[in-house]
């Protein structure tokens, strides 16, 4: 067992305890409805409000079969260099437009870019590839606007979805100019590295991951589907400049390093930051934990820089 008392500081433990008070460690043993209720309540309790000068508008992307709700954040004096598509986390089971509402508003405020949050369909009502299909549809919608480039951003499940879209739209006339992936997992080897060292990490365990996989797939074999796990893709060439931010105390942390290495080996640009002493889901700690605050600044700077076509890594 990893001794987290030596890795995690007092501020982060306070965040972990507060999170567990709303969304308990055994949440995956509860019904889906109960998980969503407790997760939504937790997100409301952590909501930090909107920065001054940011407004949001809800609308929908119409597809041939259904509508995808989106929320667009815009600053009073916007920087129209790029449009950010944000895909939220939540294990493909929980979350939505409200769960990451303040995060998206703050990214908008601090970069000046319009941020579009995508309310993709969730499992188990809609198993894979429904979430990917909705994110791909959102990209196609943004690409038809043709008024500015697209940058993809997402955390956890949303980071996986952002990477899946990037892998499948290479060669598109409006392919993303960058992607910022926050504590994502790409289908790494669970018999070694962080999957073993941090199998029982606070806020995300390997057992949790197995639950989310089963719900997301509905029992289907997706082992050869790169839109499910980007590591299945043998080709990492032609991807946009990529910044990956992992949490050290997270089973998924090694996936960030491996993704960076694959992109670089294929001739692309990629940077990876493994945030010391932080845990999965730390975006909600960005106002109370100094390490999380610093990491969020790194995320914002990555979004801003990639949106300007800059590479400072």
- Catalytic residue IDs: 156, 250, 280
The candidate with the shortest Cα–Cα distance to 204, out of 77, 27, 48, is 27
Q: 3-state class of 185 per DSSP?
A: coil
Cβ atoms of 129 and 225 closer than 8 Å: yes
DSSP label at residue 86: E
User: Distance between CA 201 and CA 204 in Å, rounded?
Assistant: 6
DSSP H or E stretch at residue 54: strand 54-62
User: Distance between CA 87 and CA 15 in Å, rounded?
Assistant: 23
- Determine how many CB atoms are found less than 10 A away from the CB of residue 30: 14
For CA atoms 185, 191, 197, 198, the dihedral sign is positive
């Amino acid at each position: 067992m990893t001794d987290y008392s030596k890795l995690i500081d007092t501020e982060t433990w306070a965040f972990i305890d507060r999170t567990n008070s709303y969304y308990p460690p055994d949440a995956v043993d509860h019904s889906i409805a109960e998980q969503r209720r407790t997760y939504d309540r937790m997100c409301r309790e952590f909501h930090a409000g909107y920065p001054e000068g940011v407004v949001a508008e809800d609308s929908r992307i119409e597809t041939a079969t259904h509508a995808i709700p989106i929320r667009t954040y815009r600053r009073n004096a916007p920087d129209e260099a790029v449009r950010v598509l944000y895909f939220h986390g939540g294990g493909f089971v929980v979350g939505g437009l409200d769960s990451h509402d303040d995060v998206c508003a703050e990214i908008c405020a601090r970069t000046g870019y319009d941020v579009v949050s995508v309310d993709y369909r969730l499992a188990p009502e809609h198993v894979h590839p429904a979430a990917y299909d909705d994110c791909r549809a959102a990209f196609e919608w943004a690409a038809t606007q043709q008024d500015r480039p697209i940058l993809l951003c997402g955390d956890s499940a949303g980071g996986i979805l952002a990477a899946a879209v990037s892998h499948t739209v290479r060669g598109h006339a409006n392919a993303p100019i960058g992607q910022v992936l926050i504590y994502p997992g790409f289908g790494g080897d669970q018999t070694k590295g962080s999957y073993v060292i941090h199998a029982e990490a606070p806020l995300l365990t390997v057992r949790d991951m197995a639950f989310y996989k089963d719900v997301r797939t509905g029992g289907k074999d997706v082992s050869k589907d790169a839109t499910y796990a980007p590591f299945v893709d043998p080709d990492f060439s032609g991807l946009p400049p990529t910044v990956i931010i992992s949490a050290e105390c997270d089973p998924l942390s090694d996936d960030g390093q491996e993704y960076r290495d694959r992109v670089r080996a294929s001739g692309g640009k990629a940077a990876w930051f493994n945030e010391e002493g932080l845990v999965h889901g730390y975006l909600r700690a960005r106002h109370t934990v100094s390490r999380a605050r610093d990491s969020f600044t790194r995320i914002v700077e990555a979004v801003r820089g990639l949106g300007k076509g800059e590479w400072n890594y």
